[in-house]
A and B are shown apart, each in its own frame.
Chain A
Amino acid sequence: AQKITQTQPGMFVQEKEAVTLDCTYDTSDQSYGLFWYKQPSSGEMIFLIYQGSYDEQNATEGRYSLNFQKARKSANLVISASQLGDSAMYFCAMRGPFRQGAQKLVFGQGTRLTINP
């Protein structure tokens, strides 16, 4: 079974600082995908970044990067130069191998990030 663990219920960061949100995962599959989503106070789920298990380089999308350490089974999200608008709930999620039917997303508990001015 797949499992995602986010151990930081809340984080407080000063504006313009970099922030790392932790995510560890557990799976016995060799093929899988890892996602980060942002959920602002308005409630929608916003896709941020994706990392495939066979991708050799860490994924980057603008100010977001995913620090993928396969041996440690961690997929931390790094936000550079944080902004007030980054205040939100952040979810790490994993999908299973493409061969496994519906490839359901499994989510972590989330981390609430607050950016202080």
Chain B
Amino acid sequence: NAGVTQTPKFRVLKTGQSMTLLCAQDMNHEYMYWYRQDPGMGLRLIHYSVGEGTTAKGEVPDGYNVSRLKKQNFLLGLESAAPSQTSVYFCASRKDSLSYGYTFGSGTRLTVV
């Protein structure tokens, strides 16, 4: 049982490049979330999804896009990376609206130079 898997684990991008972060869960969870973690600011929500085919904006959505074409996958895209997007990105999932547990991936460390 892999839980929540994030790929890649590390990445260095040049300003203006694009990339996609993949979050995959094998627990049949309905809800999925993307957070970014910056020093002194905790984790902030970028986008989230309450089910296959749905996405919604979180607290800091600018510069990011997401898609959830399959229930098990939640993709986070950076169309034109900026140094301000240097961060650690976490994906999390949750079974349904009545469960209290959140399962986190191990994170992706992204550096934009």
Chain B residues within 8 Å of chain A by Cβ, number: 26
Instruction: Judge whether A43 is part of the interface by a CB distance below 8 angstroms.
Output: yes
Interface stretch among B11-19, B20-28, B79-87, B96-104? Answer: B96-104
Measured CA separation A55–B89 after assembly (Å): 32
A58 to chain B, nearest CB (A): 16
Q: Which range holds the interface residue count of chain A? A: 20 to 34
How many inter-chain contacts with C-beta < 8 Å in the A-B complex? Answer: 58
Chain B residues, CB < 8 A from A45: 90, 92, 104, 107
Chain B residues, CB < 8 A from A37: 104
Contact with B along A84-117 (1 / 0, CB 8 A): 0000000101010010011111111110000000
Are B42 and A105 in touch, CB under 8 angstroms? Answer: no
B92's nearest neighbour on chain A, judged by CB, is: A105
Chain A residues, CB < 8 A from B56: 102
Instruction: Judge whether A29 is part of the interface by a CB distance below 8 angstroms.
Output: no
Chain A residues, CB < 8 A from B41: 109
Given contacts A102-B31, A107-B44, contact A44 B104 (CB under 8 A): yes
Give chain A's interface residues, CB within 8 Å of chain B.
Answer: 4, 6, 9, 33, 35, 37, 43-45, 47, 50, 52, 91, 93, 95, 98, 101-110
